[in-house]
Amino acid sequence: MNSVRFKRVIAFVANFLVLSWHIFPTISHATQNSYDLSVVIWPQRDGTSDDTTNDVSGALRKALPVIMPVHIIGSQITEDVLSYHQKEALVPTGGKNEAEKTLANAKEHYFQFQYDEALAESSRAVEIYSAGSISENGFHLQDALITQAIIAKAAGDAALAKNAFDRVVSLNPFYRIDKKLFPPSIVEMFEKSRSTLMQGASGSLKVETDPQAAEVFLNGILQGVTPFDLPQVPVGSYTLLIKTNKYQPVTKTITIADGEKLIVKEKLTWTNTQTGKKSSHTQNARAEIEEGLRIADLLKADKAVLIDCDENGKVGTLYARIVDRQYRAAHRPVVVEYDAVEGRAQAVADLTETLASLTRINLLNDPMKYLDPDGLGDPILLTGRKREFYKKPIFWGAIGAAAAGAIAGGIAAALSGGGSPRTGAVAVQFK
């Protein structure tokens, strides 16, 4: 009889082991995946303490995996991917690298008197730069057009040369060709195009900024610093870019009308001091979160962490924002102030612990508590999403309790033999 009971116990345990072979790996895998996150850490370079920002970002990449199981995407991979897509966005039909190489090849073929190849390559460079953002590519487009004009003149295509010079002066009416660097025939052709444009209708432009000494770009080409005054500007539309270190750049399209004196006044947003930095990040929360989502999407990361560090004398400020790719939202930003002389290491350690804690938090648990109110968030994902029952902890708790009860009951039944009631005790311990 005892041998029969023993066989029943063995059979029951064997069946349970087979069942657990399929169930528990699934539980383990689900638990592991809940912490298996990929994170990209990106330093925000604003012209202030950028080296320190890079150092802090590097320290976080090393420290964060030490205190939590997380995959940090390498800095070089991040730089390469974002650099590639940034250039692709600026010049969508080919890429800035392609334009630079093509233009360099054009100049090389020109010096070797291979005019057909040089003309084709210079025209391709002009096409690529023309398709991109004028505020980013204006200077390069000017160089490409001048090169095209010189090559076309040498190849005997006077019409193309004139058209290229006309585009140069329309792009930058204030460019003056260096008579020492170019032959007289090129100088004469360029000056004729410029003279024709400048003798036409014109207005004036004045740019004032608070603070002063901000750089002024027209069509992506630096023209001077504020206060900036141009008494004669050919009529037409121009892309105006105003920028300086420690302040947010301003980009707008302006139109110069005949006889009009256009005055542009801009109060720039300060981003350098503690108060200015906090208010600027708050005002630009949406832009920061969109940038974080763009970075996370390109790197296929679960979360993007934007880092900024500013030190002014003995005072330092660490700023961090975690953006969640799944829920298209961001946690509330983290700001750590510290002694820039002796307290940076401790500030980084404190920031690491805080980021690790926030990274573990699921925004679904309490969106109102964790979600940045100044940013974005998908209300359907954050408030209306229901978790599948089998993913809830209570489900696996019930499974565990049922499994424990089944084992205990099964062993007790096997030992009882199913016959007449018997008395005895069975000790079952689970670890």
Calculate helix-pair angle for 2-35, 393-416, nearest 10 degrees.
170
Distance (Å, rounded) from C-alpha 269 to C-alpha 281?
10
Cis before residue 173, ω within 30 degrees of 0?
Answer: no
DSSP state of 47: S
Task: State how beta strands 202-210 and 261-267 pair.
Answer: parallel
Q: For 7, what's the count of Cα atoms within 13 Å in the CB-facing half-sphere?
A: 4
Q: What ranges in 300-366 are assigned the alpha helix state H?
A: 344-360
Query: CA angle at residue 173 from 107 to 214, to 5 degrees?
Result: 100
pLDDT value for 391: 41
Q: What is the CA radius of gyration of the chain?
A: 33
Question: In this structure, how many other beta carbons lie within 10 angstroms of the beta carbon of residue 16?
Answer: 16
DSSP state of 219: T
Phi/psi-derived region of residue 261, left when phi > 0, alpha when psi is between -120 and 50, beta in every other case:
beta
What is the model's pTM? 0.46
Q: Which amino acid is at 100?
A: E
pLDDT value for 44: 87
DSSP state of 66: H
Return all residues near 327 (Cβ < 8 A) that are at least 6 apart. 363, 364, 377, 378, 381, 382
Residues of the chain with pLDDT under 70: 1-35, 84-96, 271-283, 373-431
Please name the fold of domain 37-73+274-384.
Rossmann fold (3.40.50)
Q: In what side-by-side order are the strands of the sheet with 236-243? A: 221-225, 215-218, 236-243, 250-256
Task: State how beta strands 70-72 and 250-256 pair.
Answer: unpaired
Question: In this structure, how many other beta carbons lie within 10 angstroms of the beta carbon of residue 286?
Answer: 13
Return all residues near 368 (Cβ < 8 A) that are at least 6 apart. none
Question: In this structure, how many other beta carbons lie within 10 angstroms of the beta carbon of residue 174?
Answer: 15
Distance (Å, rounded) from C-alpha 365 to C-alpha 326?
14
pLDDT value for 383: 45
What pLDDT, in 10s, does the model give residues 139-168? Answer: 999 999 999 999 999 999 999 999 999 999
Asked if 145 and 126 count as a contact pair (C-beta separation under 8 A), the reply is yes
pLDDT value for 303: 93
Asked if 193 and 163 count as a contact pair (C-beta separation under 8 A), the reply is no
Asked if 138 and 244 count as a contact pair (C-beta separation under 8 A), the reply is no
pLDDT value for 10: 61
Return all residues near 373 (Cβ < 8 A) that are at least 6 apart. 332
Structure tokens at 371: 């979600």
Question: In this structure, how many other beta carbons lie within 10 angstroms of the beta carbon of residue 200?
Answer: 11
Distance (Å, rounded) from C-alpha 424 to C-alpha 277?
74
Question: What are the structural domain ranges in the chain?
Answer: 2-34+397-416, 37-73+274-384, 84-198, 202-267
Length of the chain: 431
Strand-pair partners of 318: 309, 336
DSSP state of 258: T
Cis before residue 184, ω within 30 degrees of 0?
Answer: no
For domain 202-267, the question of CATH label 1.10.645.10 is answered with no
Q: Nearest Cα to 192, choosing from 229, 165, 219, 167? A: 165
Q: Which CATH number fits domain 84-198: 1.10.760.10, 3.40.50.150, 1.20.140.10, 1.25.40.10?
A: 1.25.40.10
Q: Nearest Cα to 267, choosing from 237, 233, 244? A: 244
pLDDT value for 105: 92
- Consecutive H or E run containing 340: none
Asked if 235 and 203 count as a contact pair (C-beta separation under 8 A), the reply is yes
CA 5 to centroid of chain Cα atoms: 67
Structure tokens at 190: 């360029």
